[in-house]
Chains A and B, each alone.
Chain A
């Protein structure tokens, strides 16, 4: 039994596509990154998984149970943090969290709540309406974690938090996963996804265009090659016709910076004609890999910067 399993999920709003034929599953103890720009369908997927939206087609299973819209399927065992979390303004933080916990599955929520509040340096005696955006986000984090759920569905959990608190929240997510919880983490912050997620799915216009371990996604991006010439005045022009799939990033006297797909053989053979001082292969970041999924042609193929198309977007 997978803790969270989404199968052929499609959600349309009239003629507008929210998500189209999305399929993925999360393993026990896994932190799964769910990436995509605004409007790509992340929140729609999450709301379908929470039973807040009725799928047009497909199904979602949580902890072995098929999610029924409005049926609160296994919600006692799910920790959910909405993207734009909003609370009642008048009650104090403690009262708000206590009410929400009392609706079911509270377990040892009270003790855990106090522990988390101390760790996040949050005053639960203040009215939620009086709190800053960052502190309200902390209340949201407490809300998701206080009942020690088996599945965490987090939409931008570190939004509005300072770097120190962001780190604490990421630690909390890691600890929950180590304790066996499965985490669906939707985020715009690719560095935090790269830091804590094992696998990720990338959404583009409602479709899942990539589903792979983070390391593989990064490798599928262009590789970089930075070459310093022994002659600091040398700046040879790159023969584009001999080097298909190679993009010139930067060229100045004594230095050339390239990005390429596939083998480096052709590039190295071309460079070998010149006196080389040193060669560096900078690490491709998740950001760079991620951006490539949004430089695609209409037919779904990845477009190289020199106009050559290559096969991209595998599931």
Chain B
């Protein structure tokens, strides 16, 4: 029997998917970058914060919360800059990428019927999964790096009364990147399992909602505080980041990322495609 022809890694597919993902990544990155500049621009002196809060007071409370007005009420300069990392809009953008990319690449190609074409070329199924996983996780970390760059740029543009510890924001960005990547890996698992993109997106969004709900409940209701450990959002903690690298939190998020990604790879490899 002759030897099987070696199947190379599908770099052209990775390149093609990268180019397809790039416009969305760029728009999200731009929004995140500008958001950091805007946050720093608003909070770099107390007068601006006060003026902004006065403007916000004219809006209904829903709008005020959405714009981050409540977060501005308290905190020192680093705490206020950190708003740009935890703002619901930023979280929404990060999760949009984390959920949209793997489901768009894997389930999207299956749904369009083009996965059958890709798989009929010398491309291993596992390599396709790795391409989607790499773009999701690398894209995620690139986004949080842009977020950090936004802060660095803003610190050079504006003058602050207090010193701005950039190492803290780097740790915060990395922690956020790991959290978003863990969600991306869960989305990857959903994309590997489900035939329809809507289902994969829905399940991942549901997972996120449950995590967020548990996080809120455990913070507001002391008797439910024990639930804090089961939500992913517990492992992004600014107080711990002040003290240095919270390695145990990083380890938990990395474990979720790894387990979800490996489970997704197994499911993807065993699943019949495309039907």
- Chain A residues at the B interface, C-beta cutoff of 8 Å: 1, 50-54, 63-65, 69-78, 80, 82, 84-88, 99-100, 102-105, 143
Contacts and interface: CB of A to CB of B under 8 A. Distances in A.
Contacts of B124: 70-72
Interface string B59-81: 00000000000000000000000
Contacts of A143: 117
27 contacts: A52-B116, A52-B119, A52-B120, A52-B272, A54-B272, A64-B2, A65-B4, A70-B125, A70-B269, A70-B273, A71-B124, A72-B119, A72-B121, A75-B121, A75-B123, A80-B120, A82-B113, A82-B117, A86-B112, A86-B113, A87-B117, A100-B121, A104-B10, A104-B121, A104-B122, A104-B123, A105-B121
Interface string B209-231: 00000000000000000000000
Interface residues of B, number: 30
A102 B15 CA distance: 11
B56 interface: no
Give the one of B4, B112, B114, B125 with max A CB within 10 A.
B4
Interface of B: 1-2, 4-5, 7-8, 10, 12-13, 16, 112-114, 116-126, 269-270, 272-275
Contacts of B16: 99
Contacts of A82: 113, 116-117, 120
Contacts of B273: 52-53, 70
Provide the main secondary structure of the chain B interface.
loop
Provide the main secondary structure of the chain A interface.
loop
A52 B114 CA distance: 13
Contacts of A63: 2
Given A64-B2, A70-B269, A103-B12, A85 B121 contact: no
Contacts of A69: 125
A165 to B, nearest CB: 21
Top 8 nearest A-B pairs (CB, nearest first) are: A70-B125, A104-B122, A86-B113, A103-B121, A80-B120, A102-B12, A75-B122, A76-B122
